[in-house]
Amino acid sequence: MIEVSTHSDPTRLAHCRSILEGAGIACFIRNEETHDLIAGLPDPLRQPSLCVTDDADAARARELLREIEGAETSDKPDWKCPQCGETVPGNFGSCWKCDALRPAQP
Ligand SMILES: [Zn+2]
């Protein structure tokens, strides 16, 4: 087991996990359940982290995560989902949370 990503937002990690799983990489989120209990108490050791089950997948997982980060830093502006109100990265054609389609640009 190797940790490939850490983020204070478990929703974000869940998004990364679904992408890794889609690529056939077995992974899980550590500390997901404890997050709410420690909310407000900054403890980097207990932040939720994304781990791959098989160490051999770690390099490929990090590569995929880098692609996600790269895509998110594109110059397309974030948009707000009209259905659930979630902020969605500009390169996404639909909401990552509820799958609502991106609204037409003004
Ligand atoms: Zn949504």
pTM value is 0.56
Q: Quote the number of domains for the chain.
A: 2
For residue 97, the CA-to-ligand 1 centroid distance in Å is 5
Phi, psi of 87 (to 5 degrees): -85, 130
| Per-residue pLDDT of the chain in tens (106 residues, 90 and over written 9) | 999 998 878 888 999 999 999 999 999 998 866 545 555 555 556 778 999 999 999 999 999 998 877 665 556 788 999 999 999 988 889 999 999 999 876 5
Residues 50, 80: one domain?
no
Phi-psi map region of 9: left, alpha, beta (phi>0 left; psi -120 to 50 alpha):
beta
For residue 104, the CA-to-ligand 1 centroid distance in Å is 15
Both tokens of 43, joined, read 């403890």
For residue 81, the CA-to-ligand 1 centroid distance in Å is 5
Residues 64, 12: one domain?
yes
Our measurement of the distance from residue 30's CA atom to the centroid of its chain's CA atoms, rounded to an integer in Å, reads 13
Residues 67, 28: one domain?
yes
CB 17 within 8 A of CB 27: yes
Residues 19, 30: one domain?
yes
Residues 69, 80: one domain?
no
For residue 106, the CA-to-ligand 1 centroid distance in Å is 18
Residues 86, 65: one domain?
no
Biggest distance spanned by C-alpha atoms of the chain: 46
| d(C-alpha 94, C-alpha 15), whole Å | 13
For residue 92, the CA-to-ligand 1 centroid distance in Å is 11
For residue 57, the CA-to-ligand 1 centroid distance in Å is 30
Both tokens of 89, joined, read 């990265």
Residues 47, 85: one domain?
no
CB 29 within 8 A of CB 13: yes
Give the domain extent around 24: 2-73
Residues 69, 53: one domain?
yes
